[in-house]
Amino acid sequence: MTLPIALQLYSVKNDAADDLPGVLNQVAAWGYDGVEFAGLHGHAPDQLQRQLHDLGLRCAGAHVPVHLLDDDQIDQTIEDYLALGSPYLIVPYLPEERRDSPESTLETAQWFAQLAERLAPHDLRTGFHAHHIDVRPFDDGRSPWDILAANTPESFILQYDTANGMDGGADPVAPIRDHPGRAVTLHLKEYSREHGHGHSVIGEGDVPWAEVFDAATDVGGTRWYIVEQEGHPTLAPMDAARRCLDNLRGMG
């Protein structure tokens, strides 16, 4: 199955901060199907949505800092991301104390479940983006990822990140297969035993991509592949983002 490919705009965060409309123009010209936002950089969400429409790009979701989902800001956040046309509000990071034990992770899962319920009437879904610490097991054998999966509704997106998972010592594919239907959006990020996570272009490291794609389409419920690239040692971020797409196309 061929799935659409989006670029996580954090990959080109400095360029996006300087000229987000220009970045969107370039991403569309390269042939990406969509983008996942990481901040709006002062731009009105409805104007960005119109630009996406004009460019033939789709919004594959957004990374939304957790504080913007607190009670005092969530109404404005819902309004903004509905105007943007984002179907998914993914929390990209949590303070460590909210997932540093089975107990704290369970409390966080319960908060996420309540958040999912609050967003559902707006046809919005939430989720969480995996980091290396999320796949490392506690003493009882469960990882934060497992606890979040077991204590959130099926609508809650477990946004696995291939490089972050491998960096945490996880099997590169098992976290997708272990939670069927939950990898609605899946971050494709290269991991290199030589260079670490995120610093290599997709297809030029050690991620077993064919197995990842099989897991995504067989059981993951994946609707979007989302490219993320961080800190290539020689390529400019925009060049690395384009090369990731070229390499994915080369994989068929």
Domains of the chain: 5-250 (3.20.20.150)
Residue 241 near residue 20 (C-beta atoms within 8 A): no
Number of neighbours of residue 111 by Cβ within 10 angstroms: 15
Q: Say what the pLDDT of residue 71 is.
A: 94
Low-confidence ranges of the chain (pLDDT < 50): none
In sequence order, what E strands does 44-183 have? 58-63, 88-91, 125-129, 157-159
Q: Say what the pLDDT of residue 1 is.
A: 57
Q: Say what the pLDDT of residue 244 is.
A: 97
Token pair for residue 130? 């995996």
Q: Say what the pLDDT of residue 216 is.
A: 97
Closest CA relative to residue 186, chosen from 146, 217, 152, 232: 217
